Structure 1
């Protein structure tokens, strides 16, 4: 025979369990408003766009340029400033977040996060970590492929600042051709055109500080003074003696590693190869950037 006292105790425990579950369960409408997103190959965000989270680094600086445009030279000049940290190429756009379970996107959405905003938070944390380690107050990322995704950078950091580093497209083509062991002329021209189009797009849409590689090498003091004015820091003569500073390892995938950059001195820019015929669009962009027809 069942003991009535044990039955009453069991009912009380079950009732207490239901009350505790209801206390922590979101209202039904809140659950209904968060559909369970699914996607091929894993969870998706289901069209949800999370609001921007607060940033640890509110106003980072990004150098936008094509490859082979002198961005490593600009980096080491800036990194030689006592208040500016410009590390090797960080490749933030290739740092991704993977939501490994079907319910993970639901959990993140309940926190007002999605995959994109999680990646933005991670990128921001990486910049903040590097800036904190350096003891400086301004961080500059000079990864050329950032140019191809500048709208996303602008979305991640609405208050970011930008330095546009231009170089004559013909000179960029010549530099790429000389660097590669088995150059494909058509492929190189297409690559330079892609970068140039995104640079022009950024030039038209961002409140950026625009310089040229030719001016940087011809008159580094005047050019770096202008950059310091844009960033709100005093110019320092030590910037021009970048060879006296430690800028980390010069190696492939992290920036230029040629003897030119290893020399520790600003050297004259190489000009475009006059025998290289630019397509009409690249000639048009060169004119828009102030380069002469010849």
Structure 2
């Protein structure tokens, strides 16, 4: 019933959407955005995709934080006469950054996997009505554990709230956008099957090169633009840790854990 209701809501929204204005024509009309929480395995997904000869998946680009300043009143006036406001100017900037990366790589599909995109999905949809989406899920309590393992000084309650903010944003996006849902646990357990599904969704042929990402150049594994753990640096797909026991799931995450099909 939940899936049926989502489908009805999506069809109604598509009918209500206005025509795309000329200013929304992009150099990259249909980028792929991975919408996920932090510590959801998005860097692993990124390097697997980036290993495909037609897909460029760079480190986190943080486009939503790349802004444009209109520093003088006459600047805004001039842009208004051109039919451009600050919001659209930022879209043009983000679009140009993605296009530049595609040209540099010689590939034809770009993927941005910045976790912060989950909270900016409405802007992404507004700026790129033809964008495609991958929703990357992981057991919410596993994401909490991963964050704390990386920084044992973290406060548990604050970490739970942080993860909850991300997963709520991902769930809102799933309710409002069409896309393919990918589970981290399934990706690590059966990477060939899952990457084949992703390739079919993106309209490219699957290649076994995706499963041996250590052979590609994926840029540095450093803080703030992706995972930098030993696991990702190993060049090997590591199986996900066992799912948490129901009693180990923080109460604030139990409803979304059930909603995502992990039980609780």
For the criterion TM > 0.5, the same-fold answer is yes
Preserved contact between residue 164 and residue 209 of structure 1 (Cα < 8 Å) = yes
Q: Does the residue aligned with 2:24 lie in a helix, a strand or coil?
A: coil
Matched, 1:227 2:198: yes
In the alignment, structure 2 segments of 5+ residues that lack a partner are 1-20
CA apart distance, 1:288: 1.5
> Paired residue for 1:72, among 31, 43, 47?
43
Counterpart of 1:135?
106
Q: Distance in 2 between matches of 1:142 and 1:172?
A: 16
Counterpart of 2:165?
194
Q: Does the residue aligned with 1:103 lie in a helix, a strand or coil?
A: helix
CA apart distance, 1:51: 7.0
Counterpart of 1:161?
132
| Counterpart mapping for 1:174-253 below 5 A | 174-253=145-224
Counterpart of 1:276?
248
Q: Distance in 1 between matches of 2:188 and 2:152?
A: 26
In the alignment, structure 1 segments of 5+ residues that lack a partner are 1-49
| Counterpart mapping for 1:83-98 below 5 A | 83-98=54-69
Q: Distance in 2 between matches of 1:287 and 1:174?
A: 18
User: What is the aligned length?
Assistant: 243
Q: Distance in 1 between matches of 2:166 and 2:74?
A: 38
Q: Specify the structure having the higher radius of gyration (Cα).
A: 1
Deviation string 1:31-90 (CA, Å, 9 cap, x unpaired) is xxxxxxxxxxxxxxxxxxx97432000000000100000000000000000000000100
Counterpart of 2:31?
60
Residues 289 and 180 (structure 1), Cα distance of their counterparts in 2 relative to 1, 3 Å cut = same
Q: Distance in 1 between matches of 2:248 and 2:256?
A: 16
User: What's the TM-score once normalised by structure 2's chain length?
Assistant: 0.89
CA apart distance, 1:102: 1.6
Matched, 1:126 2:92: no
Q: Does the residue aligned with 2:147 lie in a helix, a strand or coil?
A: helix
Q: Which has the higher contact order (CA 8 A, sep 6+)?
A: 2
Q: Distance in 1 between matches of 2:152 and 2:88?
A: 39
Preserved contact between residue 51 and residue 113 of structure 1 (Cα < 8 Å) = no
> Paired residue for 2:83, among 108, 112, 123?
112
Q: Distance in 2 between matches of 1:119 and 1:206?
A: 22
Deviation string 1:84-103 (CA, Å, 9 cap, x unpaired) is 00001000011000111122
CA apart distance, 1:111: 0.4
Preserved contact between residue 40 and residue 184 of structure 2 (Cα < 8 Å) = yes
